[in-house]
Amino acid sequence: MTVPSVQDRIDAYWTRRAPAYDDHQQRPDRRELDRAAWADVWTAALPPAPADVLDVGTGSGHVACLLAALGHRVTGIDLAEGMLERAREHAASLGVAQPPRFLRGDAVDPDLPAGSVDAVTGRYVMWTLREPVAAVRRWAALLRPGGVVAVVDSTWFPEGVATGGEAFTAAYDDDVVAALPLAEARSIDATADVLRAAGLLDVTVTPLTAVLDLDRAHGVAPGHEVRPQHLVTGRVAG
Ligand SMILES: C[S@@+](CC[C@H](N)C(=O)[O-])C[C@H]1O[C@@H](n2cnc3c(N)ncnc32)[C@H](O)[C@@H]1O
């Protein structure tokens, strides 16, 4: 697997950030509330369990572990070793019949057989993805007939990545941002347009109001603002 050097900088950033990122994902004051809210989001978006699901840019495995607990057979891929380490720790203590497997892999070109999964998920990944249209086309090729792509994201940096703080912009510098077409998107419609351009059918955008309510009630990670998140879905022909 060869990936461009901008991706190396992205991977190093997420490996450094993995412990703090994951601690925030596991915040005890909202862990169970998050679990319930996200279980509703993914249950509505995905085929009934058990389905074969690829979670791209899986990070510390929040989505992958939740989907495995819902009865899906899940593979999570990421390029940041620090994130994968955390994800594997969570999988080991999950206590489900079939925990997710976590592999190092590029979301832009996942190394899975064509037609081998029922769904591709990705939470907070589209904004930091190189070549998003080509990536979604490749995800579509991994799907069985009628399979779905379901991604969740926001417009995190509508005023530019420079608003993201020093440690962040040291990694997400001009070269990196130039390689990420959605990093500074001003509307979630840009993500929906990517799914359409990749040939997906019935593309929908759904605001995640329960998640927004939780963020407003409990706050978000330090240095971040509460922002509306959306589920964006599309499918391949049945
Ligand atoms: C904001 S985190 C989201 C993590 C996780 N999906 C979640 O919901 O918590 C973004 C993740 O995307 C990963 N990532 C970025 N570009 C990637 C690529 N091309 N291939 C695989 N993973 C990638 C990063 O390493 C990081 O773990």
Contact 105, 1 (CB under 8 A): yes
Please count the other Cβ atoms lying within 10 Å of the Cβ belonging to residue 85.
15
Per DSSP bridges, beta strands 143-153 and 117-123 are parallel
Q: What is the rounded average pLDDT for all residues in the chain?
A: 96
State in Å: Cα 122 to ligand 1 middle.
8
* Mean pLDDT by groups of 10 residues along the chain of 238 residues: 84 96 92 96 98 98 98 98 98 96 98 98 98 98 98 95 87 95 98 98 98 94 90 98
152 lines ligand 1 (CB under 6 A): no
Residue 116's domain comprises: 5-235
Beta bridge partners of 119: 53, 148
48: its two tokens: 């009934």
Using alpha carbons, select from 70, 177, 197 the residue that is nearest to residue 132. Answer: 197
- Cα distance between residue 187 and residue 107, in whole Å: 22
For 185-238, the pLDDT digits (tens) are: 999 999 999 999 999 999 999 999 999 999 999 988 887 889 999 999 999 999
Q: Where residue 60 sits, what CATH number does that domain have? A: 3.40.50.150
- Total domains in the chain come to 1
d(CA 118, CA 142): 8
> Does the C-beta of 65 come closer than 6 Å to ligand 1?
no
- The dihedrals phi and psi of 9, each to the nearest 5 degrees, come to -70, -35
Residue to probe by mutation, ligand 1, list 5, 26, 34, 78, most atoms within 8 Å of CB: 78
Distance 8 CA to ligand 1 centre (A): 13
